């Protein structure tokens, strides 16, 4: 998009095409008052308080909906503008109880604050009492229709942000107002009391009936002190007052642990003073097995293998490990430093995932710890969002791009150009990022959260992939026919780096290696999708999907007509893995076959969703493996719908925090699953079956033969 040149209050300004006059002024630090859209993404020009004078225009324009034009001359504080703004405020105050509930509670009703700044005392217009009245039917939120100024911020908060679709407009003229569902009392409507409307409301029309008694360990923080910090300046004082226990001050002494990797939490931390060290304490090693003894069923011992001991040819050299912080950790020395102004723990706070790393105070530190409701409000503010985006572009964009192996060829000059071109976008749980059939206009990198890639199908939704931090999508449409080939949906709170199509095509043209890598990936993904669909076309898809068999790469199946339930397979697996079996002779049934409980090496593993450090990945052969930076949080084991991942304990030596210079034994755990007995000629369970009932199969091919005579089926090994 090209830039537009204009003049605002005598200043020469250059902004991207499509920017509103309001945003252009805000970028230059010129404040234009508004009531109807400050906390929402979509301006609507309802209140008209943000009017400006555009040279040669017949009437004053609402700056929030007026796009900039080349050579436009704008005045935000001319006598004509100030007179019109004051009249608008007087008219609004004439229909507003003063002080309203918000003004009484926290002294920050936005309408009354603006009126006070304009020197409006008693308005010139007579006070009108409407019949709209109050609604006290809700146990949580008090509704005062008299204080409503019909700005629609509550409606957009309910519909666009929370997608609850409860609020709307009712009536006409002086009797118009907000309504819940089909004009029901709020307490009788489908309102879920999320509080979004209350937070969005600029006046006392929607207020909380009682203070939320949330308790976090720490010192209470004065609201005025919070609002002096850039992160909290634009947050509603009413919201902070009503949720004052959701933000606390924490003091950490040098060497004290702030949070540990693998622990579950619901808070984020903002560093006010001091420095903290973020690192991984879990050993950087793969879990593998060694064979001891002779004979086919010799004992297998699990132990940890370092990176140099077990080389994975297709892995390449990974430079960084993604964590829930503004920086990634270097792979060879997973330690980084955080300082004042840094925010960490967003993924844990917003999506309740385990902590991705351990944070320890390097010096005496002061931090603010906050709950999700506060962080969510902070992240939606435009001014703060711009600050967070700027910090990301400055500190983490380089590492994020280079963490994707195929982008390693990008030179620094191109990344510096790209830095100002990319757009950071956020989606809430369930938000559709793009739909199959849409025009492909962007390429996306995932910064936080998880994205589901799927295709609609007559038999049900077909999931193609689950992508986490460091993942990317959109290349197939851009390099193919220009049309999206799948629908991408946010599984939780998701933050994406959006590279527009123009910059993407410039990148692949300038760097042929990047294009070749992407084209290879496109071919692989298209072939995988083709195989899925060909299987779906030859089988009852609804049943196949319900069993979860479509997603498997390797299944342990047992022919129940041959199986005598002797459990030789279970004992063989246990003998091969230190007495701990990695299969259970129970599971789902399809036709005459039992799909035993053993890792399926799913094509789209649910176990990967939520891994805080992205340590579960899929080889090119589709075998699911767990990387050596697994922190042992256990989330993958919980997410596996088939119960096929186990947590294996190991004893390691760590520095004793009490006795300097000494070490102590600490039990750590790593996630493990079926390794297909890769050191043996075939899996132990299959070899040990005396009745040829157990087989490891590729399901898409195997289940084509279900229902045909055994003699006509190909031999399964």
> Is pLDDT at 337 greater than 90 in this prediction?
yes
DSSP string, 171-236: S-GGG-EEEETTTB-GGGSS-----HHHHH-SSTTEEESS------SSEE--HHHHHTSTTTTTS-
Mean predicted confidence (pLDDT) in 663-667: 79
pLDDT at residue 534 in the model = 58
Classified as helix, coil or strand, 494 is: strand
pLDDT at residue 253 in the model = 94
Query: Rounded to an integer, what distance in angstroms lies between the CA atom of residue 41 and that of residue 162?
Result: 13
Are the CB atoms for 244 and 236 separated by under 8 Å?
Answer: no
* Secondary element (H or E) of residue 477: helix 475-479
pLDDT at residue 368 in the model = 92
Query: Rounded to an integer, what distance in angstroms lies between the CA atom of residue 91 and that of residue 79?
Result: 18
Query: Rounded to an integer, what distance in angstroms lies between the CA atom of residue 74 and that of residue 53?
Result: 6
pLDDT at residue 709 in the model = 42
In sign, the C-alpha dihedral spanning 180, 186, 191, 193 is positive
Quick one: DSSP state of residue 157?
A: I
Quick one: DSSP state of residue 139?
A: S
Q: Dig out the tokens for 514 from the structure.
A: 């990047």
pLDDT, tens digit (0-9, with 9 covering 90-100), for 351-403: 778 888 999 999 999 999 988 878 877 776 666 667 667 777 776 677 677 66
Query: Rounded to an integer, what distance in angstroms lies between the CA atom of residue 439 and that of residue 452?
Result: 19
pLDDT, tens digit (0-9, with 9 covering 90-100), for 673-689: 776 676 566 778 887 88
pLDDT at residue 251 in the model = 95
**579 against 368, higher pLDDT:** 368
> Is pLDDT at 334 greater than 60 in this prediction?
yes
From residue 393, give the alpha-carbon distance in Å to each of 205, 398, 447, 498, 670. Answer: 39, 8, 12, 12, 34
pLDDT at residue 541 in the model = 46
> Is pLDDT at 607 greater than 80 in this prediction?
no
Query: Rounded to an integer, what distance in angstroms lies between the CA atom of residue 270 and that of residue 607?
Result: 30
What percentage of the chain carries pLDDT values higher than 90? 15
pTM: 0.61
pLDDT at residue 454 in the model = 84
Quick one: DSSP state of residue 354?
A: B
pLDDT at residue 701 in the model = 62
Selection from 434, 427, 409 nearest residue 487 by Cα = 434
Domains of the chain (ranges; CATH) run: 3-77 (3.10.20.740), 125-210 (3.30.70.20), 220-280+323-380 (2.60.120.10), 411-538 (2.60.120.10), 548-712 (no CATH)
pLDDT, tens digit (0-9, with 9 covering 90-100), for 491-521: 888 888 898 988 888 888 888 888 888 888 7
pLDDT, tens digit (0-9, with 9 covering 90-100), for 44-73: 888 899 999 999 888 999 999 999 999 999
Mean model confidence pLDDT for the chain: 78
Report phi then psi at 145, rounded to 5: -65, -25
Confidence of residue 281 (pLDDT cuts 50, 70, 90): confident
Long-range contacts of 125-128 (CB under 8 A, 24+ apart): 125/90, 125/91, 125/94, 126/94, 127/94, 127/95, 128/94, 128/95, 128/174
pLDDT at residue 342 in the model = 86
Strand (E) positions, 233-311? 247-252, 257-259, 267-273, 276-279, 286-292, 299-305
Mean predicted confidence (pLDDT) in 529-542: 54
Are the CB atoms for 5 and 71 separated by under 8 Å?
Answer: yes
Mean predicted confidence (pLDDT) in 170-180: 85
Mean predicted confidence (pLDDT) in 636-653: 77
pLDDT, tens digit (0-9, with 9 covering 90-100), for 212-271: 455 678 888 888 888 788 777 767 666 677 677 788 999 999 999 999 988 888 889 999
């Amino acid at each position: 998009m090209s830039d537009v040149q204009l003049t605002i209050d005598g200043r020469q300004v250059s902004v991207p095409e499509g920017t509103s006059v309001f945003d252009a002024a805000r970028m230059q630090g010129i404040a234009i008052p508004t009531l109807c859209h400050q906390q929402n993404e979509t301006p609507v020009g309802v209140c008209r308080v943000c009017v400006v004078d555009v040279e040669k225009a017949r009437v004053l324009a609402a700056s929030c909906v007026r796009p900039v034009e080349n050579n436009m001359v704008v005045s935000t504080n001319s006598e004509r503008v100030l007179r019109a703004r004051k009249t608008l405020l007087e008219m609004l105050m004439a229909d507003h109880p003063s002080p309203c509930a918000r003004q009484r509670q926290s002294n920050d009703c936005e309408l009354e604050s603006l009126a006070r700044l304009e020197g409006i005392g008693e308005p010139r217009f007579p006070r009108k009492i409407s019949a709209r009245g109050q609604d006290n039917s809700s146990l949580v939120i008090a509704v005062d229709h008299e204080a409503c100024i019909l700005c629609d911020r509550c409606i957009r908060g309910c519909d666009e942000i929370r997608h609850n679709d409860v609020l709307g407009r009712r009536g006409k003229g002086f009797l118009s107002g907000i309504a819940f569902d089909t004009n029901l009392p709020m307490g009788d409507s489908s309102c879920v009391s999320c509080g979004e409307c209350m937070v969005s409301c600029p006046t006392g029309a929607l207020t909380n009936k009682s203070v939320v008694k949330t308790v976090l360990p720490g010192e209470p923080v004065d609201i005025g002190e919070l609002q002096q910090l850039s992160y909290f300046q634009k947050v509603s004082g009413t919201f902070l007052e009503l949720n004052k226990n959701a933000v606390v001050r924490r003091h950490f002494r040098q060497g004290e642990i702030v949070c540990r990797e693998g622990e579950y939490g619901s808070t984020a931390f903002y560093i006010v003073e001091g420095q903290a060290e973020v690192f991984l304490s879990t050993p950087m090693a793969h879990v593998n097995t060694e064979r001891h003894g002779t004979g086919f069923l010799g004992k297998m011992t699990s132990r940890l293998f370092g990176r140099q001991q077990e080389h994975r040819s297709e892995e390449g050299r990974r430079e960084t490990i993604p964590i829930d912080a503004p920086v990634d950790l270097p792979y060879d020395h997973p330690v980084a430093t955080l300082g004042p102004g840094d925010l960490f723990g967003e993924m844990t706070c917003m999506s309740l995932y385990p902590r991705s790393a351990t944070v320890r105070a390097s010096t005496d530190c002061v931090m603010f710890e906050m709950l999700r409701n506060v962080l969510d409000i902070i992240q939606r503010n435009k001014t703060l969002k711009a600050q967070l985006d700027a910090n990301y572009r400055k500190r983490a964009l380089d590492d994020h791009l280079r963490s994707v192996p195929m982008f390693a060829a990008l030179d620094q000059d191109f990344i510096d150009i790209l830095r100002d071109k990319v757009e950071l976008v956020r989606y809430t749980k369930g938000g559709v990022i793009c739909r199959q059939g849409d025009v492909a206009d962007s390429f996306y990198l995932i910064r936080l959260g998880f994205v589901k890639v799927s295709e609609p199908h007559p038999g049900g939704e077909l999931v193609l992939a689950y992508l986490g931090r460091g993942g990317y999508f959109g290349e197939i449409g851009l390099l193919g026919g220009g049309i999206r080939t799948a629908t991408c949906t946010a599984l939780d709170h998701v933050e994406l780096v959006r590279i527009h199509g123009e910059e993407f095509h410039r990148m692949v043209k300038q760097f042929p290696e990047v294009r070749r890598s992407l084209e290879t990936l496109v071919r692989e993904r298209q072939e995988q999708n083709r195989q899925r669909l060909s299987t779906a076309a030859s089988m009852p898809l609804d049943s196949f999907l319900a069993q979860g068999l479509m997603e498997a790469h390797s299944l342990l199946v047992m022919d129940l007509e041959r199986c005598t339930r002797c459990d030789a397979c279970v004992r063989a697996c246990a003998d091969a893995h230190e007495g701990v079996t990695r299969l259970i002779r129970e599971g789902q049934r399809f036709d005459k076959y039992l799909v035993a409980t053993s890792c399926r090496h799913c094509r789209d593993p649910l176990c990967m969703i939520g891994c805080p450090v992205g340590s579960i990945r899929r080889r090119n052969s589709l075998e699911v493996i767990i990387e050596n930076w697994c922190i042992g949080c256990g989330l993958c084991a919980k997410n596996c719908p088939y119960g096929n991942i186990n947590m294996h304990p190991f004893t390691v030596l760590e520095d004793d925090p009490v006795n300097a210079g000494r070490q102590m034994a600490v039990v750590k755990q790593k996630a493990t699953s079926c390794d297909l007995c890769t050191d043996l000629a075939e899996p132990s369970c299959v070899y040990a079956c005396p009745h040829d009932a157990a087989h490891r199969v590729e399901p898409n091919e195997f289940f084509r033969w279900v229902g045909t005579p055994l003699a006509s089926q190909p031999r399964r090994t």
